Structures are given as structure tokens and as C-alpha cells.
Amino acid sequence: MARVCQITGKRPRVGNNVSHANNKTKRKFYPNLQKKRFYLPEEDKWITLKVSTSALRTINKNGIKAVLKKAKAEGHLVL
């Protein structure tokens, strides 16, 4: 699962580089992914996830347990 957020499912998007002369060439917009370790106290283990920075903010706000539960329900998380 290269360049895919394991929590939100964000993937690279396709767009255009637009020059001053309005020439357009294809390019990719990559999500801002970070490799991060999270501790799960109920399972007493660490997991490593590749998450986007927006997903990190969501984890900080709601907690890892709630976010993992929602990601599994939406089908983004494959452990």
C-alpha cells in the first residue's frame, strides 16, 4: 500500500502543471504521509501506520481506538 493513508484512504491525485503561457502537463499531488507508531493499551502492543497529517489530527482529537474502529468499518484499514 504505497502512498495511501491507512486511516482515510487518501491516494495520489492527478492534476496539471499550468505554465504562465497556460501550457498544461500532467502531474501528481501526493498526500502528506507520515509513518507513525501508535500504542494500543487494550491489546498491549504497538502498531505502525502510514497516515496523512490530517488523519494524525483526527487521531489526536478522537483517540486511536475510535479512529481505527471507523477506518475498519469504512474498509480503509487492512492490518
Burial class (CB in 10 A: 0-12, 13-18, 19+), 5: buried
| pLDDT(78) > 80 | no
Backbone φ and ψ of 73, nearest 5° = -65, -35
Q: Is-contact 36 5, C-beta < 8 A?
A: no
Architecture in CATH of 13-74: Roll (2.30)
The pTM of this model reads 0.86
1 pLDDT above the threshold of 80: no
Say if residue 59's pLDDT is above 60. yes
What confidence tens digit (pLDDT) does each residue in 4-13 have? 999 999 999 9
Listed by start position, the domains of the chain span 13-74
